[in-house]
Structure formats: C-alpha cells, structure tokens
Amino acid sequence: MLKELLCLSNYQAGKLALGKRAMDEKYFPEVIEKKWQQRWAEGQAFEAGNDDTRPKFYSLEMLPYPSGFLHMGHVRNYSIGDALAWYKRLQGFNVLHPIGWDSFGQPAEQAAIKRGVNPRAWTEENIAHMRGQLKRLGISYDWSREIAAHRPDYYKWDQWFFLKMFERGLAYKKQSPVNWCPKEGTVLSNEQSSGGICWRCGTAVEKRNVEQWFLRITEYAEQLVGQIEQIESSWPEKVLKRQRDWVGRSEGAYIDFSVKDSDKKIRVFTTRIDTIFGATAVVLAPDHPLIVELMKDSALMNDVQKFAEKVAVARARPADATAEEVKEGLNTGVLAINPFSGENIPVWVANYVLMDYGTGAVMSVPAHDQRDFEFAQKYSLPIRQVIAPASHGQPSAEPVSVTGTDQSAEMHQAFTDYGVLINSGEWGGKLSEVAIREMTLFAEKHKFGGGAVTYRLRDWGVSRQRFWGAPVPIINCDDCGAVAVPYDDLPVMLPENAEFTGTGQSPLAGVPEFVNTTCPKCNGPARRDTDTMDTFVDSSWYFFRYTDPRNADAPFDPAVAAQWTPVDQYVGGDSHAVMHLIYTRFWTKFMRDIGLVSFDEPVKRLLTQGMVTNIVEGTDEWKAMSKSLGNGVDPDEMIRAFGADATRLFILFAAPVENELRWIETGIEGGVRFLRKVYSMVWRWHERLSDLSQRHDEPAPDEIGPAGQALRRKTHQTIARVTSDFEHLHLNTSVSALMELFNELNEFDVTPTNASAADVFVVREALESLTVMLAPFSPHVAEELWEQLGHAGGLIPKVGESARWPKVNQQHARKAELEIPVQVNGKLRSR
C-alpha cells in the first residue's frame, strides 16, 4: 500500500554512494527534521515569556485525550494551530502555544477492568508515547507548560472550583432521573446524551433515578445566550446556533388556572397567551407533583397513578430515535378555571407534557397547536378556533367578524401562525403580537400571571460513578449533611488500591480508607463522597492553567492569566459545539463572578476544523478514520515515509480548514515534490546568496529587467495574498500561492552564474519571502533554508529583533500594464 519512498533508507543508501556535498544538495526530511527539533528543544525556541512586552497571541488547540496514539484528526488540528502560532511569531508576536492532556476518563478505567493494568501507569505511558509523536511532528509547543488533568496538582483545582460553586449554591445534590449509558456503566450529562445516544459509544441511553451532583449552569442561561453577541462574528454560525438551540430560550407568559372547588392553582407556561380563549383543557405531566394533591379523594387516582407509571417505564427505555411516541392521556375529572374567559375546562394528564420543561403543565389549545390538535382529535376534545389568518400580515383595525361558531370541523391541522384574534371577548380583532403584549400585562395586573422566560437548558450533572476522575470533595455526615472538605485538605487524592470490577458502583466505594473519615464540622464519623467529576470539568478551565501552570496556591494568578487570556484563536472539531464549548463559557462566567477573570467570553475566535476521512476498503464511502473501520492512517508512518513537513503541508493544502479532508496518499507525495524542488532551488542559489555581507541595496527600477520586474511583482502579490489568507484562515490557498511563487521563480530565466546584482536582489527577495511564508506549514525545512540563505539564529525573532514576516509593497505588487477585456453583448471579443 505505502509506496516505498522511505527517506531514511534513501539517506543511508545515498551516504554510501554519494559524497558529502552531493548528499547536502538532496532533500532528506528525516535529517532536517531531527536537526531542527533538537535545536528548538535546546534553544527553548517555543517557550513563551510572561515578561515579554511584545503584543501577545494565544493559539490553542483542544485538549487531547491520551488514548495512546495520535490520529490524523489530531495532526490536522495541531497543524492548523501551529501554522497560526508560527505566523504570529514571525510577525513579532509573543505567542503562547501550549499542550496538555485530558487524562481522566473512561478508557483508562476500561483498561483497568479488562486487563488489570493500573490506570495511572496506563495513562502516563500513553502520554509519553503521544508526546513523542507530537515532537516528531515538530508542533511548536511550549513544553514547559504541559499539564495533565489526572495529576493531583491539576485536579486539586477542579476540587477547589467545585467547592467555590458549592459555597455559592451552584453545586448541589439531588435525586433525579439521569441519562444512563448501559455500555459505559455511568451517568451522562444532557449534553453528552444529546439525541438519546451516548456521545462516546453511540449506545441508546436509559433513564435512571440516581442521586447526583449538579452544577447550576441554568443560572447562566441568559448570559449564555445574551453574550453570544460578543463572539457572534468570530465563531462559526453553526456552533452558535446549536448553543442557542441548546439553551432554548423561550419568551412567553405563565398563567395560573384556579382549580374548581379547591384553593390550588395550576401554573402553565405558554408562548401563545393570545390563544387562551381556545384552551379546552389543562394538561399536566404524568409526574406532576400537584396531581397527588388534586386527586387525594378521587376515585380516578389509581388509574392516573398507573398511567404515570406506564409512561415512566416507557421513558426509561432506550429512546428509539425515529419513533414518535403516540400521544396518550387521561381525564382527571378535576376542573380548572380559565382566568380570561371564566370557563371551566377539564384537567388531563398526558405523556406529551414534560415535567422538566416550563412548569410541567400546559393549556391545551387544539386549534392552534399541532400537538394539542392531535391529542384533542384522539380524545374528542373540543377544537375552538380563536385566531384567524391576518390577510397579507396587514394589521386589520376592524374586528374580524366571524359567522358560524364551529369551523373546527373543517380543520385538518392546527393553525399555528400569528393572526387576528376571534372568539376572544374584548381581545377580539387584535393582532397576535399586540394581544400577547396586552394580555400578559392584564394577567400581571390581575395577579394570575405575567411575562416569563423559560429555557430548555438543564443543570449539568457532573457525578460519575467512576474511579478515574477528580473525587468530589464532599464529606457526608449523618448529622451535618454534605460538608465541604476544607481547602487546606485539598486535593482529595485518589487511593492507589481500588479494585475495578465494572459493576457500576464507584470503585472508590470499595476502599474503606478512602470512604471512612471524620466530619470537618462535628468531628464525628463520616463518609467521603465516592463520585468523581465529569472530565468535562477538567477541560472547562484548562487553558487558564497554561498561563500559570505550576501555581501551587491558586488555579492561576489572575494577573498572569490576564496577560494571555482570552484565547485569541481556538481550533478544534465541532463535535464539542454543545459540550465543552458551552461548559467552558459557563465556567468562565463563573470565574468572572469570583474575580478570577475580567471578561465574559473565554475565546475570541473559534475555528471548527473538518474531519479527516479515508475510503473504507471494499466500499466507495469516505468515513472518519477509525480503528473499527480499518481506514486509519498512522501519522508516524507518514512522517517516516514523507516527513513531518510534507505531511503537514499536504493536510493544510488539501482542503479548506473547515471542510472534510479526504486522505489521498498521492497528494502527500505532491507535498514532498514541492518541498524538494524548493530545497534544490535554494541550493542552486545559495552560493550567490548566503554571504550576507555581499548583500545589495534595493536596485533602482530600471536596473531590473522585465523578467525580474515580473518576479518581483509576483513576490509582492504573494505576500499580500498569503498574509490576507492567514487573516481569513484560508490556509489551502496560501499554500497554492506559495506554489505559484515558486513556479514563477522556476521560470525566471536567470542562472546563479549569469545573474546581475539586481537579479540577485530580486531572487533573494523572492526566496526569502517564500522561505519565511513556508515556515507555518513546513517549519523544519523552512529553518534549514533560512540557514542556507545565510541567516544564523533561526527564524523566530527574539525580543528586540524585527518581525520576519515579509511586508508587501503595494507599488511592486501592482500590475505593470492592465489588460482590458473587450466584451460585445456580453461576449468576449478580443484579448
């Protein structure tokens, strides 16, 4: 499969056959890459200084899980982030480009259960291997800031944050139905079970009633929607849309329906108060707590309870994504009073009303809500039309007169648009928009309702019945309840001697030395909480830790973090659009509220890169590379065969960063070809160019021949193009621009031996520009060429050195003559 282009063997074979000089002229990525990786390490080339006064740039890629092996998705992710880091460095920015490990989580524990290995050892081994891979790729990380979530000096701060939230009532424990993945044997958050399937393994989730810790993300629902405007222009629209949908802000009103012959009230939420005259029932969720009180003495109580149980059982079953549940319900015999019309209407329970949205109760308006319509048809509830279509959407000042009282017989579906109110007493004739406003005020004035906003977002369940995570720092005392572990006692360390049985109980529960402790409040015997935290807690704030990674007294020094954050450019897959990316926004807002940061949004600009796909053997389908499909490509194999530079160049060239990238091995060979050609061109010229003391001043325009002028023009056009492409993250076209510049150089009809001083100047300008602009894509070979061109000390400007990135001279970039196409009747006539 893999074509035998192996550089190492070529190099060794070549060394035997050719002399040293002949070898130098050939491009051997293996040799160049080793050389520069070593120099970068020795010179600490990528370490970001906190006391550097140049403008900062924080380039960040999403924290990887240390599965043991880098896959091509990682390579793409880091190649993009690294290109931007290099681009900014070459422009003279002080760049922070860190890496770390999301090293808590299921796979380590699975390995422990299945193969009896120690999760810590397993994780550390994986990290060591992947670190080696990243270094072979030559990604320019500041390794001195590396962090790993599973180390006590990191998870201590997870626990610290948890306690800060606990103190403020933002972390709380409650018994609640949660998403349970039967395959993973653990609870999942709503975000991790979107669509009813486990985000990790794709198994359909069940509902289970478990006592859980929750973080009150709903407290920030309004900000999570409202503050989107701060990042609207620099985050992908699709991510923001998903976040908006996920928070699900909905404006409407609540209304209290009095219960006949009772002092109880049923509160409903509606976005269509204008349809209230058409309400022909009030419908409660089967598990609505009011039911028990309302039906204390009712003969129907038993039936309703049975119905509720049936629904609960159905809901606990793994969701079948395609099947829409059939609407079912039961009349409770209780009557409610419509506060607008005074009418008595029946109270039902039904499976299509959800307890955990709004108030768990709705007013049923069959004529104007499709669900209510279907329900009413099934149970023969009256369907009463109260909204008429407004013609052309024009406000009609005249009340609409309606003849005939029962148009509902003709309705085949609910009319859900806004319109004009009819059959609505004093509100008749008003437009929906107006009626909604006025009726809400009316309800408020008469104290039976008012404006309300509800959210779909639920609190974040962070308890996991797992070992390999940060222990929840809480001690349960029979007398004092849940008590915070004192800050001085952090971290609550994971024990070394847990047993992994895979039973779904936290392995921590089986370690008496861990569990048994004393209550910090009363000193009585007490038990530690045995849940650990969702690993998404670790990744919610990790990039702040990079700014101050060894701080032993705080998660980070706010003053240091303020130098670097917010993140200027974040790069990652869009699979985290409503998981990590919403959690980290929440976390940042919390950190702001406790004075750690001074802004609302952690990430200025987000890029969601596309997947890397490969053809699945035996099919014609392109799918994301994966072990199970057997279509994975090993980055190390690519590095060995083609070099890291060519691999990275190809990945960035092959497709726009946000598109799917189809892996074509011949494409990567094209990358090698290009680098080899550039390399040998620099070699051809380097004797004329490398002596910088012989460098010429800029020649007068008339000293440069027409071919030189053209090359110069191309050089400056390329600088303009590549620079603008970087600003817009169009990395694929900037590579093609570099190739065009090379092609122009290749056609430049001057040889090193016959070149005039002016020619040499033009060639130097072109080659130096090409070399510098190549560095973000293929940094090793760029460094090598820069050295060949006579420069010592490496490409990255030190403090005090001027920026390396070439500057465009618009004068030179301008076309010498303008060709004007002639069109007659839209047809091209001559050129």
Restricted to residues 175-194, the positions that interact with RNA (CB under 7 A) are 194
Residue closer to RNA, measured from CB, 505 or 743: 743
Contact between 310 and RNA per CB under 7 A? no
Alpha-carbon gap, residue 388 to 53, rounded angstroms:
67
Which segment (325-333, 381-389, 469-477, 536-544) binds RNA by CB under 7 A? Answer: 325-333
Does position 252 bind RNA by CB under 7 A?
A: yes
- Quote the least distance from Cβ 647 to RNA, whole Å: 14
Question: Helices then strands (H, E): number in the chain?
Answer: 26, 30
Tokens of 433: 């928009």
Q: Which of residues 263-282 bind RNA (CB under 7 A)?
A: 269-272
Q: Residue 113 or residue 312: which is nearer to RNA going by CB? A: 312
Evaluate whether 369 touches 350 at the Cβ level (below 8 Å). Answer: no
Contact 806, 768 (CB under 8 A): yes
Which range in 361-369, 489-497, 763-771, 781-789 contacts RNA by CB under 7 A? 361-369
Whether 371 contacts 308, CB under 8 Å: no
Instruction: List the one residue from 369, 601, 783, 787 that touches RNA (CB under 7 A).
Output: 369
Helix (H) / strand (E) containing 347:
strand 344-350
Residue pair 500/565 in contact by the 8 Å Cβ criterion:
no
- In this chain, which of 123, 133, 351, 647 binds RNA, going by CB under 7 A? 351
Among 735, 773, 775, 782, which residue interacts with RNA (rule: CB under 7 A)? 735
CB 763 within 8 A of CB 753: no
Q: Which of 262, 736, 756, 809 binds RNA (CB under 7 A)?
A: 736
- Closer residue to RNA (CB): 169 or 821: 821
The DSSP-derived string for 227-273 is GGGGTTTTS-HHHHHHHHHHHT-EEEEEEEEEETTSS-EEEEEES-G
Question: In 3D, which of 149, 161, 156 has the Cα closest to residue 108?
Answer: 149
Site string for RNA, 558-597 (x = CB under 7 A): --------------------x-------------------
With contact defined as beta carbons under 8 Å apart, do 730 and 656 qualify?
yes
CB of 327 to RNA, least distance (A): 5
Taking the least distance from each CB to RNA, the nearer of 248 and 318 is 248
Nearest to 743 by CA among 722, 716, 715: 715
Smallest CA-to-CA distance from 423 within 281, 280, 282, 275 is with 275
673 binds RNA (CB under 7 A): yes
Residues 6+ apart with CB under 8 A from 655: 610, 661, 662, 732
Contact between 414 and RNA per CB under 7 A: no
- Beta-sheet strands, E only, within 34-125: 56-61, 94-96, 100-101
Contact between 825 and RNA by CB under 7 A: the answer reads: yes
Stretch that binds RNA, among 238-246, 480-488, 629-637, 763-771 (CB under 7 A): 238-246
Interface with RNA (CB under 7 A), residue from 245, 637, 698, 749: 245
Question: Contact at 8 Å (CB) between 418 and 390?
Answer: yes
Q: Please list every residue from 704 through 733 that binds RNA, using CB under 7 A.
A: 720-721, 724, 730, 732-733
For 155-179, give the secondary structure using H, E and C: HHHHHHHHHHHHHCCCEEEEEEEEE
Among 185, 504, 632, 667, binds RNA (CB under 7 A): 667
- Does residue 223 interact with RNA by CB under 7 A? no
**Of 174, 183, 241, 445, the one binding RNA by CB under 7 A:** 241
Counting contacts by CB under 7 A, is residue 312 touching RNA? Answer: no
How far apart are CB 393 and RNA at their closest, in Å? 16
Instruction: Candidates 320-328, 421-429, 597-605, 708-716: pick the segment binding RNA (CB under 7 A).
Output: 320-328
Candidates 324, 553, 620, 817: give the one binding RNA (CB under 7 A): 324
Report the alpha-carbon distance of residue 707 to residue 580 in Å, rounded: 54
Stretch that binds RNA, among 42-50, 351-359, 475-483, 804-812 (CB under 7 A): 351-359
Q: Pick from 677, 684, 688, 791 the residue near RNA by CB under 7 A.
A: 677
Q: Which stretch, 66-74, 356-364, 420-428, 493-501, contacts RNA (CB under 7 A)?
A: 356-364
CB of 584 to RNA, least distance (A): 18
Write out the DSSP string of 422-434.
-S-GGGTT-BHHH
Token pair of 394 as six digits: 């024009």
> Which distant-in-sequence residues (6+ apart) come within 8 Å of 809 by Cβ?
716
Classify strands 387-388 and 56-61 as parallel, antiparallel or unpaired.
unpaired
CA distance readout (Å), 407 to 384, 427, 522:
8, 19, 71
Q: Cα–chain-centroid distance for residue 186?
A: 23
Q: Provide the greatest CA pair distance for the chain.
A: 108
> Token pair of 153, please?
């000096």
Q: How far is the CB of 353 from RNA (least distance, A)?
A: 4
Give the Cα-Cα-Cα angle 52, 55, 57 (nearest 5 degrees).
100
Does residue 674 interact with RNA by CB under 7 A?
A: yes
Contact string (CB under 7 A) for RNA, positions 28-67, x = contact: ----------------------------------------
Cα(674)–Cα(725) distance, integer angstroms: 20
Collapsing DSSP states into helix, strand and coil, what is residue 277?
helix
Find, among 247, 271, 244, 267, the residue nearest to 256 by Cα.
267
Nearer to RNA, 363 or 638 (CB): 363
Contact status: 821 vs RNA (CB under 7 A):
yes
> E strands within 265-328?
265-270, 281-284
**Residues between 801 and 820 that touch RNA (CB under 7 A):** 819
Minimum CB–partner distance for residue 283 and RNA (Å): 8
Q: Which residues inside 503-562 make contact with RNA, applying CB under 7 A?
A: none
Stretch that binds RNA, among 89-97, 119-127, 233-241, 804-812 (CB under 7 A): 233-241
Pick between residue 380 and residue 825 the one whose CB is nearest to RNA: 825
| Beta carbon nearer to RNA, 693 or 825 | 825
CA pair distance 120, 137, nearest whole angstrom? 26
Q: Applying CB under 7 A, what is the total number of residues that bind RNA?
A: 76
Nearer to RNA, 233 or 401 (CB): 233
Question: Which residue in 7, 95, 9, 108 sits closest to 54, CA to CA?
Answer: 95
Token pair belonging to 479? 């007398």
The residue among 103 and 179 lying less far from RNA, judged by its C-beta, is 179
- By the rule CB under 7 A, 831 interacts with RNA: yes
How far apart, in whole angstroms, are the C-alpha atoms of residue 541 and residue 392?
A: 51
Residue (231 or 731) nearer to RNA, CB: 731
Q: Given candidates 27, 87, 352, 442, which one binds RNA under the rule CB under 7 A? A: 352
Asked if 451 is part of the footprint of RNA (rule: CB under 7 A), the reply reads: no
Cβ pair 2, 637 in contact under 8 A: yes
Report the amino acid identity of residue 263.
D
Nearer to RNA, 241 or 798 (CB): 241
Q: Is residue 827 close enough to count as binding RNA by CB under 7 A? A: yes
Per CB under 7 A, contacts with RNA among 613-652 are none
Indicate whether 670 belongs to the interface with RNA (CB under 7 A): yes
Choose between 343 and 660: whose C-beta lies nearer to RNA: 660
Looking at beta carbons only, is 592 or 730 nearer to RNA? 730
* Of 48 and 808, CB closest to RNA: 808
Q: Closest distance between RNA and the C-beta of residue 360, in Å?
A: 6
Intra-chain end-to-end CA distance of the chain, in Å: 48
- What distance in Å separates the CA atoms of residue 472 and residue 819, rounded to the nearest whole number? 71
